[in-house]
Structure 1
């Protein structure tokens, strides 16, 4: 019920469809019963058992409307039989049956039409909200979750959740009302026979409920396994070159097959129970009908307490309970698997994002003075990656961070952009703590160029426009020129409109990196963060990219994280890091003179 309450806000925009669906389902349930009740007059006309009503009935109020309607019908049947013959009376009751079945199916269609709009609308809104939540979550969330599992929740679990919820809607309106109307009519025909039927219903319900045991836990495991195999697929496609170069196709195929085998076993187990629910409920219903035939047949043939035509209608009504009963049993199974999916979807929607803008966060569009990192400590798990780290970066200066892998250089970039938050200490821009700035405002002040050139399967132009959506073609070309990329782009078949393929795989590493730089140039932020921007490039590509970086950093505050020391020799200050602490700082010349850690790093790279 808690999960159902949480989906209610998604339904509210479509409450009109929900209300009409309920109204049409009520009418469907009513006419579903009336369509069988209409068989009674036909049977009575056929067997010449029609109750004679010779006086036109008088309406005596809403509480006696059922008897008034019944007497009115029999009055016309009696009149037609007497004046025109029984065949005309038969034609009348057949017409009534046709009309009731027509209305029943019309209301069924209208109910389905509204539930379709409701279902699709909720599915759309839920996926949009889930996607917005996914892209708002911090980077740290995805270091703990498999991307494939998140995709499975977006693609599969949302659909499962949606289907289960609307099964509940049908469950609580149409089918129960059909049963209620049918049972009420059965009581009006024979109280004794109806009570006899109800002796068997609890037994059937108990047997069916036993089938559903453990279904929710199995559904949770199946959905988790689905996320796992999508992860394998996503990782395999992303790392296809590595898979093939190491002849690891067999290993990944085995890994994928094992996951699929586990999923199939779980799906078969769940499917067996789902598939058994409907035929079992029908079989138990038929057993009830068979016992009813014996008991009711005795009432007709032996003690004559029930008319044959009435008994046939009663049997039709009893069978009419089977269809909604089957639907209820099937829906209850869907609800169990759907609630397992709901918990997986809601766990993301309800995940509390620790990195958000404060209520009264400040908007800042300019950088005027200094970035200060004061006594910060940071840890991903238990051990500190940065320890009492302090530096100041004046406006217009270039500060480089160097050191061995794992020294905490890239962590600084993650903290400056608030991909993560510091555990202790503070980072300020012009004296304002970055936690007090709006996230959009903070990131608007910064341009980020990472080691991995993250490009999208789109045109060069659209990739660069991420930096400034409303930029003109002339501005795009100018950014490409500054990034030292204009020449190779103009030589492509469609220039800036050329599609660069998945992750930019149609381009070389150096070309991709220069497009990343062009994107940052177009954004034109006052602060530039370069995180190992040239470490993945060959020497020739590095020269092109280095020229682009120097062009971009002119008259701009830059934080350069570098492994290759040749790229940072012109920096105003070089910070040498080791195990999260500053061991040396100064210009290139000053640090060489110290003959310490930096000098050793330079010597090692020169030797290499």
Structure 2
């Protein structure tokens, strides 16, 4: 999984190399500042001390350190935010590829968590993980060479304790955390889902005095999130304590080593003081690595969820190198389909040509809506085939298929923007004449024109006052604007009063003269415009 995350940095490797270069030089300078100070102190004790020269060097080093630190962070965060931009782009492309089946079968709260906080937390990996590992390696290598030139024992002690801090401490932390990061992200998804459900169902909660149960559910999810977060915090605290203990023991070991070497004449006073100060000042980069284990537990959990979404295989592959057709007829032959283990359709047949209206009648759950989704190719059939103009729809370009089909359902979503924006979703270059004509057919034009700003009225300003029927009529108007040759209507007048239903059905009937229409409904009043009606039965009937 780490390899997959690192691959995303390849277009920005120059900036990553610069971040490593600036960071390595900066940390080496930061370690050398106290070393130079200690060296100067010993020189002063033996009478060879140049105060002005020392101050000049320290000021230059301090300025260099600050500039290099700024450049390191600048490059790291540039890489991080550019990679996050790339990931967001890929995630939304993946969702487009997986939709609409993904939207129907996935927890909404989990998706929201992935595309918001999970992606944001990956910033830790890209800004504070990749370059710090390289910087710690280069910094340790430099100090090991420096220590080795003085005495090999110093180099051995430094390497041992740096390896403990950089490798063993993070491994211990990761093993203690195990799956807690995954659990914590799951708990966060659950509470997001609960909040979304509560907002959507706030009217029902008020009507049936169900608010207490919703509150208790959210409190329970909050407690679970708190428990997993507390467990992570305890592990983080243990990691800090372990890191500090390792540094303390390392300092003691380097002091004992220096005293031993000095006692037996292997080193002089300068070679005692300089290595001790260098060692005690050397843990910055490797401490950062041991502390990374704290954040990487949740960061890798986020990365796993994001990468699994990017790699998820769609229910239906988009066709881009297929055939383009002008719709004339559709044949559904011996089609069977199941949602998992739940069989919905079995050996189902129908045929419709331009100029015909076919009514689908049946109880709720009998498969009428599923059949229309199969024709739209939101899902692929388990067996059988669907053909248009004698061509399997799997061989027709997806864009052509969606352009030829006008799909209207009883549920309508209005996007943030004006009513005109929402209508133009169906056809971006639609003229006002086309839009007004479609709205008249859908019996919604007069309502829109009576609004203060007409078609330029913001949906957010009137959304609470829009009835379900008015929203559905806007959806029907979208369908008329699209002007596809095959109208797939799923309960298009379910929420509309009889007067407006009559106007819409008359418009559909008039449109059918040069189009094919499949009209799914359980209402006889809606199906009366059908040339013929096909009964859709549940498999239990």
**Which residue matches 1:31?**
29
> What is the SS of the residue equivalent to 1:425?
strand
Alpha-carbon shift at residue 434 of structure 1 (Å) = 0.6
1:75-109, Cα deviation, whole Å (9 max, x unpaired): xxxxxxxxxxx5xx221122122222322322221
> What is the SS of the residue equivalent to 2:487?
strand
Return the alpha-carbon distance in structure 2 between the equivalents of residues 505 and 143 of structure 1: 25
Indicate if the aligned counterparts of 2:140 and 2:162 stay in contact, CA closer than 8 A: no
Indicate if the aligned counterparts of 2:139 and 2:285 stay in contact, CA closer than 8 A: yes
Return the alpha-carbon distance in structure 1 between the equivalents of residues 317 and 509 of structure 2: 33
Alpha-carbon shift at residue 10 of structure 1 (Å) = 2.3
1:320 maps to 2:281 = yes
Alpha-carbon shift at residue 317 of structure 1 (Å) = 0.8
Return the alpha-carbon distance in structure 1 between the equivalents of residues 319 and 233 of structure 2: 48
**Which residue matches 1:121?**
82
> What is the SS of the residue equivalent to 2:322?
coil
Return the alpha-carbon distance in structure 1 between the equivalents of residues 17 and 253 of structure 2: 40
**Which residue matches 1:16?**
14
**Which residue matches 1:174?**
135
Q: Which of 357, 369, 376 is the aligned partner of 1:410?
A: 369
1:457 maps to 2:416 = yes
| Structure 1 segment 88-167 matched on structure 2, within 5 A | 89-167=50-128
Structure 2 regions of 5+ residues with no counterpart?
none
1:256 maps to 2:238 = no
1:378-398, Cα deviation, whole Å (9 max, x unpaired): 122335322221111011111
Change in 2 beyond 3 A, CA 1:429/1:200: closer
Return the alpha-carbon distance in structure 2 between the equivalents of residues 210 and 260 of structure 1: 28
Change in 2 beyond 3 A, CA 1:207/1:108: closer
Query: Highest Rg: 1 or 2?
Result: 1
Return the alpha-carbon distance in structure 1 between the equivalents of residues 226 and 10 of structure 2: 37
> What is the SS of the residue equivalent to 2:93?
helix
Alpha-carbon shift at residue 549 of structure 1 (Å) = 4.0
**Which residue matches 1:485?**
444
Change in 2 beyond 3 A, CA 1:519/1:234: same
| Structure 1 segment 47-126 matched on structure 2, within 5 A | 47-48=45-46, 50=48, 86=49, 89-126=50-87
**Which residue matches 1:367?**
327
> What is the SS of the residue equivalent to 2:246?
helix
Indicate if the aligned counterparts of 1:479 and 1:521 stay in contact, CA closer than 8 A: yes
Indicate the RMSD between aligned Cα atoms, in angstroms. 2.5
Indicate if the aligned counterparts of 1:483 and 1:549 stay in contact, CA closer than 8 A: no
> What is the SS of the residue equivalent to 1:456?
coil
> What is the SS of the residue equivalent to 1:234?
helix
Query: Structure 2-normalised TM-score?
Result: 0.92
Change in 2 beyond 3 A, CA 1:515/1:358: closer
Alpha-carbon shift at residue 152 of structure 1 (Å) = 0.8
Change in 2 beyond 3 A, CA 1:135/1:358: closer
Structure 1 regions of 5+ residues with no counterpart?
51-85, 584-608
Indicate if the aligned counterparts of 1:446 and 1:525 stay in contact, CA closer than 8 A: yes
Return the alpha-carbon distance in structure 2 between the equivalents of residues 408 and 284 of structure 1: 65
More displaced, 427-436 or 547-556? 547-556
More displaced, 146-155 or 318-327? 318-327
**Which residue matches 1:470?**
429
Query: Structure 1-normalised TM-score?
Result: 0.83
Change in 2 beyond 3 A, CA 1:45/1:203: closer
Return the alpha-carbon distance in structure 2 between the equivalents of residues 291 and 360 of structure 1: 69
Indicate if the aligned counterparts of 1:39 and 1:313 stay in contact, CA closer than 8 A: no
Alpha-carbon shift at residue 196 of structure 1 (Å) = 4.8
| Structure 1 segment 285-304 matched on structure 2, within 5 A | 285-297=247-259, 300=262, 302-303=263-264
1:436-486, Cα deviation, whole Å (9 max, x unpaired): 011111011011110112222321101101001122333322221222211
1:226-245, Cα deviation, whole Å (9 max, x unpaired): 11111111121122211221
**Which residue matches 2:349?**
390
More displaced, 344-353 or 143-152? 143-152
**Which residue matches 2:177?**
215
**Which residue matches 2:485?**
526
Return the alpha-carbon distance in structure 2 between the equivalents of residues 304 and 99 of structure 1: 35
Indicate if the aligned counterparts of 2:157 and 2:253 stay in contact, CA closer than 8 A: no
